[in-house]
């Protein structure tokens, strides 16, 4: 194995793996990271939930009886979109202090930074509580890799706190909303468009359902940091051709929830509102995460990041969801923070980039978090 790369170089290496999801194909990227970590003394286990869909869990240390510090991140990316990129999306080109490529901010830079920080601290980790690195496949399409690890049940082990390396420009976030995505389907009877009285128009039914959804009442108090839950009708697909009465319509609903909300109760409330003839099918169902900002470890994270940010962080939450929404089923009742070098506003964008100095800064922050946990 060649010498360990720095985090910028490792990010460039990871960007050259096409892990667009779908289809994902994260296996080669996961193995690249696994070999690097094995060569540094980590125990590495792979978890494949489908052909070439591979996550990995790497561990070092843990002999003291204290739980290790956890880091997590995903290696799949979203598609490129229809707009042309000014650079090769897999070329990992650098220009003006920026590293370009699909996944540079979301979130291969974060994975590279915590992997390099852990390798740098390997000697310290061996004799302390250690770290567990959870690197997942299929986050972008509903946290499938993380869900497989939770269901598998053995590889994750325990951690005492969790850092999620998603893009925050290295500003610590203490939580994020949950996501409940639903396909709401109305059914009708098809007929010739010139004889609509012989059919039953599913689009008309969908229009009525959408009007009811606009006024959906979550009946829950606002969260101090996250505000209110939200509902957005994002897609409507109905009908086969203009001269037929449509017999089915599917409404895509995106609900973002706050801590304490029960997704099953939201589902049942919506079913009562729309009626039993409307079919409601969840496509993504992940809960919110939230750590009390006054929790001692969260305050230590604020202490450490303050030095680098030149200002004291105050409690904020991310707008997106992360694998932590699923991993919390295994890692119960621990503090979690979303903290990574990527630029949050560039996630999923054409010409996505990450600032090189943010990647290096993230390595320093993660290294100090490991030192602090190990002391």
pLDDT in tens, 348-373: 999 999 999 999 999 999 999 999 99
Dump pLDDT digits (tens) for 194-230.
Answer: 999 999 999 999 999 999 999 999 999 999 999 999 9
The closest of 125, 133, 111 to 363, measured between CA atoms, is: 111
Dump pLDDT digits (tens) for 56-68.
Answer: 999 999 878 899 9
| Spatial distance between the Cα atoms of 257 and 263, rounded to a whole number of angstroms | 8
The number of residues making up the chain comes to: 375
Q: What percent of the chain has pLDDT over 70?
A: 99
- CATH code that applies to domain 7-176+288-374: 3.40.630.10
| Spatial distance between the Cα atoms of 52 and 44, rounded to a whole number of angstroms | 17
> pLDDT confidence of 1, banded at 50, 70, 90?
very low
Q: For 2-17, what is the mean pLDDT?
A: 92
The span from the first CA to the last CA of the chain, in angstroms, equals: 31
Check pLDDT > 80 for residue 19.
Answer: yes
Our answer to whether residue 139 is catalytic in this structure is: yes
Residues 6+ apart with CB under 8 A from 360: 6, 7, 8
Our answer to whether residue 329 is catalytic in this structure is: no
**Per-residue confidence (pLDDT) for residue 111, from 0 to 100:** 98
Q: Where are the domains of the chain?
A: 7-176+288-374, 178-286
The β-bridge relationship of strands 353-355 and 98-100 is antiparallel
The closest of 348, 355, 289, 326 to 134, measured between CA atoms, is: 326
> pLDDT confidence of 4, banded at 50, 70, 90?
confident
- Inter-residue contact 287 to 257 (CB < 8 Å): yes
Q: Which residue out of 26, 106, 138, 139 is catalytically annotated?
A: 139
241: helix, strand or coil: coil
Dump pLDDT digits (tens) for 61-91.
Answer: 987 889 999 999 999 999 999 999 999 999 9
**Per-residue confidence (pLDDT) for residue 2, from 0 to 100:** 53
Dump pLDDT digits (tens) for 291-328.
Answer: 999 999 999 999 999 999 999 999 999 989 999 999 99
**Per-residue confidence (pLDDT) for residue 65, from 0 to 100:** 83
Q: For 277-284, what is the mean pLDDT?
A: 97
| Domain 178-286 of CATH type 3.40.50.150 | no
> pLDDT confidence of 28, banded at 50, 70, 90?
very high
Q: For 49-58, what is the mean pLDDT?
A: 97
Dump pLDDT digits (tens) for 252-261.
Answer: 999 999 999 9
DSSP state for residue 9 in the 8-state scheme: H
Check pLDDT > 90 for residue 263.
Answer: yes
């Amino acid at each position: 194995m060649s010498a360990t790369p720095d985090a910028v170089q490792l990010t460039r290496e990871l960007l050259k793996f096409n892990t667009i999801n779908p289809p994902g194909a994260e296996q080669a990227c996961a193995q690249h990271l696994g070999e690097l970590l094995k060569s540094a003394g980590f125990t590495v286990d792979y978890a494949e939930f489908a052909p070439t869909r591979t996550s990995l869990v790497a561990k070092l240390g843990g002999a003291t009886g204290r739980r290790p510090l956890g880091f997590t991140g995903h290696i799949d990316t979203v598609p490129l979109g229809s707009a042309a990129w000014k650079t090769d999306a897999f070329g990992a080109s650098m220009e003006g202090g920026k590293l370009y490529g699909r996944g540079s901010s979301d979130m291969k830079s974060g994975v590279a930074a915590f992997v390099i920080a852990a390798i740098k601290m390997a000697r310290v980790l061996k004799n302390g509580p250690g770290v567990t690195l959870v690197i997942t496949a299929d986050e972008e399409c509903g946290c499938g890799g993380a869900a497989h690890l939770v269901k598998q049940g053995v590889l994750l082990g325990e951690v005492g706190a969790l850092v999620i390396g998603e893009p925050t420009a290295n500003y610590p976030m203490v939580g994020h909303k949950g996501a409940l995505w639903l396909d709401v389907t109305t059914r009708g009877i098809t007929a010739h468009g010139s004889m609509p009285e012989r059919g039953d128009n599913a689009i008309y039914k969908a229009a009525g359902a959408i009007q009811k959804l606009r006024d959906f009442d979550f009946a829950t108090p606002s969260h101090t940091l996250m505000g209110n839950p939200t509902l957005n009708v994002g897609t409507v697909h109905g009908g086969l051709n203009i001269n037929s009465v449509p017999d089915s319509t599917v409404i895509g609903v995106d609900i973002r929830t706050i801590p304490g909300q029960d997704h099953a109760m939201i589902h049942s409330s919506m079913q009562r509102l729309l009626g039993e003839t409307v079919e409601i099918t969840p496509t993504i169902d992940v809960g919110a995460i939230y750590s009390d900002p006054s929790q001692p470890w969260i305050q230590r994270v604020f202490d450490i990041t303050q030095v680098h940010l030149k200002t004291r962080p105050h409690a904020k939450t991310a707008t997106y969801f992360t694998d932590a929404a699923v991993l919390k089923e295994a890692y119960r009742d621990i503090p979690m923070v979303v903290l990574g070098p990527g630029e949050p506003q560039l996630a999923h964008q054409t010409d996505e980039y990450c600032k090189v100095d943010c990647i290096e800064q993230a390595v320093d922050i993660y290294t100090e978090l490991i030192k602090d946990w190990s002391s």
